[in-house]
């Protein structure tokens, strides 16, 4: 498989994982707009529940859906625990008069490798689920993903426009001086 095709497959698998439920596994911890348990989480949960209902899964497909959700939730919790541990280690390192950048780099590399493995496990679980769907169900998932991607692109464009406007306004007074 070519490198471009391999990257495309990886991006598609990641999109499937994200599109089918990355936020679904988020546990409410701090209610508020945009935060876990906030409007974005609730909205995504509604979309996930709606997609789940539209798919009309048979018993085997439902098992695969549940297995993917369980894998995703467990891996997300492991990632959170790893992040917290790394944060604590960094705080400890900051107490040293001379930072050990090699240790910091090694810690970061290890965390990235662990997270990559967890993402691969989650993607594999969602791909197993997706591969068990019939063409009608895959069309429903594909449509949902395309809509999700379009929304992401719209948000990206709005953020980019805001950033350009903000940077343009910030640099204009400096240019007049």
Sign of CA dihedral 115, 5, 17, 159: positive
Q: Is the pLDDT of residue 36 over 50?
A: no
- Token pair belonging to 156: 């990206």
25 has pLDDT over 80: no
Would you give the distance in Å from CA 167 to the centre of its chain? 28
pLDDT greater than 60 at residue 111: yes
What is the reported pTM?
Answer: 0.68
145 contacts 95 by C-beta, under 8 angstroms: no
Judge whether 64 and 128 are in contact, CB under 8 Å: yes
**Phi, psi for 145 (deg, rounded to 5):** -65, -45
pLDDT value at 98 more than 90: yes
Residue 161 has pLDDT above 50, yes or no: yes
SS3 assignment, position 26: coil
| Pair of tokens at residue 106 | 């090694």
What integer pLDDT is reported at residue 38 of this predicted model? Answer: 52
Distance (Å, whole) CA 115 – CA 80: 10
The residue ranges of every structural domain in the chain are: 56-133, 134-164
How many angstroms separate the CA atoms of 31 and 52, rounded? 25
Look at residue 44 and tell me whether its pLDDT is greater than 90: no
Report how far residue 10's alpha carbon sits from residue 90's, in angstroms, rounded to the nearest whole number: 31
pLDDT above 50 for 105:
yes
The residues, ordered by sequence, that sit 6+ positions from 124 with a Cβ below 8 Å of its Cβ are 13
Q: How far apart are CA 3 and CA 5, in angstroms?
A: 5
Per the structure block, which two tokens stand in for 55?
Answer: 């798919």
Number of helices (H) and strands (E), helices first, in the chain?
A: 5, 0
Provide mean pLDDT across the span 139-150: 91
């Amino acid at each position: 498989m070519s490198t471009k095709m391999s990257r495309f497959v990886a991006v598609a698998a990641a999109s499937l994982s994200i599109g089918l439920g990355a936020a679904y596994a988020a546990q409410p911890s701090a209610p508020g707009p945009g935060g876990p348990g906030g409007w974005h989480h609730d909205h995504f949960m509604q979309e996930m529940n709606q997609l789940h209902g539209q798919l009309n899964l048979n018993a085997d497909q439902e098992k695969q859906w549940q297995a993917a959700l369980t894998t995703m939730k467990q891996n997300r919790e492991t990632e959170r625990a790893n992040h917290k541990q790394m944060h604590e280690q960094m705080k400890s390192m900051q107490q040293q008069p001379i930072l050990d950048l090699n240790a910091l780099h090694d810690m970061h590399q290890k965390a990235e490798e662990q997270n990559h493995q967890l993402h691969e496990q989650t993607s594999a679980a969602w791909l197993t689920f997706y591969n068990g769907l019939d063409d009608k169900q895959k069309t429903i998932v594909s449509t949902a993903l395309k809509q999700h991607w379009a929304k992401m692109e719209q948000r990206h464009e709005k953020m980019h426009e805001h950033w350009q406007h903000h940077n343009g306004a910030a640099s204009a007074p400096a240019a007049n001086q």
